Amino acid sequence: MSHPFETLTPDLVLDAVESIGFLSDARVLALNSYENRVYQVGIEGAEPLIAKFYRPDRWSDAAILEEHSFTAELAECEVPVVAPLVHNGETLFEHSGFRFTLFPRRGGRAPEPGNLDQLYRLGQLLGRLHGVGATRPFEHREALAVDNFGHASLNTLLEGNFIPKSLLPAFESVARDLLKRVEAIYASTPHQVIRLHGDCHPGNMMCRDEVFHIVDLDDCRTGPAVQDLWMMLAGERHERLGQLAELMDGYNEFHDFDPRELALIEPLRALRLLHYSAWLARRWDDPAFPRSFPWFGQERYWGDQILALREQMAALDEEPLKLF
């Protein structure tokens, strides 16, 4: 059985964009995206648009529109974010069974790892984002929790015959032990859940003309504020401590951070490790995934994952990062 995205041809992309009133110049450029499909579409007499086609059956219409509403709310508060275009009062469109959204094109560069000046400015931007995010909850977006990112991810991997039988006992054992420790730390760590970007890696914080802006809120969800912060840190512990200080100096100008949440950094990293493997497994019927991730399912990959989970177990026993 073919995957739905296989029918998303360049002609269909052009037809979709033109179906809501734009006139294309017939130029279509596929951009790097796996979860959804994203294209740059040339427009006659105007700047190109970015057309994002949502993966079928992933989000409800209500959840997608809540993402759009959150992005618009950020933009109204002058938080630099790439928001969906509003056309005839709508942001979500449908064509030939595909839901899609249009964005203005915004280029830029990702932050430089460890750049302290940039981390200060990124902290300011994330503080502004969370200042808006903390004002009210999501109604239709899921939360980041141990159950869905941890236990559900592990169940997907164990039930899907992705792990070689020779490595299955070791993987299951370390994963279950890891989740027990993550649950214990979560339960003992006070934290407030707010609306987040959710997938705030450096590639989603783009710099253009010396101004950072936020892109791709497709994974926005409810969770602890530190989820949007920890992926900004890189390097050895002493380097991350210096980076954290700069990040927090900027962040606290716009939103108060509870330093007790720093104890959740390594548990959140553990959940991301499991969730990433489960994401690949859940998308394996999409032909783009075996082509792009051919190493998934190979014995070497799972041996490396067992080692990574064991290292992460050790990281959970280390003293959390602190602010000084």
Report the catalytic residues.
199, 216
216 known member of a binding site: yes
Distance CA 193, CA 96 (A): 38
155 known member of a binding site: no
Residue by residue, DSSP assigns 188-242 as HS---EEEE-S---GGGEEEETTEEEE---TT-EEEEGGGGTGGG--SSHHHHHH
- Nearest CA among 272, 273, 268 for reference residue 302: 273
Q: What amino acid occupies position 283?
A: R
Task: Tell me how far apart the 2 most distant CA atoms of the chain are, in Å.
Answer: 60
Q: What SS3 string covers 80-130?
A: CECCCCCECCECCEEECCEEEEEEECCCCECCCCCCHHHHHHHHHHHHHHH
Q: Which residues are annotated as a binding site for Mg(2+)?
A: 204, 216
Q: Which residues are annotated as a binding site?
A: 204, 216
